[in-house]
Amino acid sequence: MEEQIVFEDNHLLVINKKVGQLVQGDKTGDEPLLDLIKNFIKKRDNKPGNVFLGLVHRIDRPTSGLVIYAKTSKALSRLTQMVKNREIEKTYWAVVAKEMIPQTQKLVHYLQKNEKNNKAIVFTKVTEGAKEAILTYNVIKTLDNYLLLEIDLETGRHHQIRAQLSKTGIPIKGDLKYGAPRSNPDGGINLHARKLQFIHPVTKEPVTIVAPVPQNDAIWRACEE
């Protein structure tokens, strides 16, 4: 757990999540990061009572990258409000197949969550029950068979990046659910929560955190070189 912590102070703890790790509990019953981190802090700091830890936002299980947890209730309430107000800038990296696509593009769609198959349905026009989803991508690197996209999110919808890129004809590498031709060996997808920028909820200092990509993936390593 120690090696996954990329930022920590008295109020916040930011983890570089591995592919397959659960951010919080779900119906699988697998132990979520929330519990693992609580146990880690309890042992590390010799805490006698319960450890307070609040989840600020989520990323999907097959995705890697940055997740913020709050260590105090004050930080949790302020950060939750900041997420609602879109005051936390989130930048993602995604690997997609090499296609003829614009170097930069703003995507605007309308997303509706299908609870049955846990998937986002994408509409190109305003649709009842669907929420507006906006992102901008830039192609920042070209590899032999893939492109590396840097993505800035304006909204935070369920499976937003995965669904919008798929609708645009460039599903994320390994993402079978959204149209990728093959899975990745680790069962994950090449989507990485790369960078967070925000004003610290307590100290009011600007915070920028960057997460290294998964080192067990040769394509990710090539992206970072």
β 131-142/146-153 pair status:
antiparallel
d(CA 177, CA 84): 28
Q: Which of 9, 26, 30, 60 is catalytic?
A: 60
Active site residue 60: yes
Smallest Cα–Cα separation from 139: which of 170, 114, 167, 166?
A: 170
Q: How crowded is residue 58: how many other Cβ atoms within 10 Å of its Cβ?
A: 14
Q: ∠41-42-43 over CA atoms, to 5°?
A: 90
d(CA 39, CA 51): 8
User: Which residues are known catalytic residues?
Assistant: 60
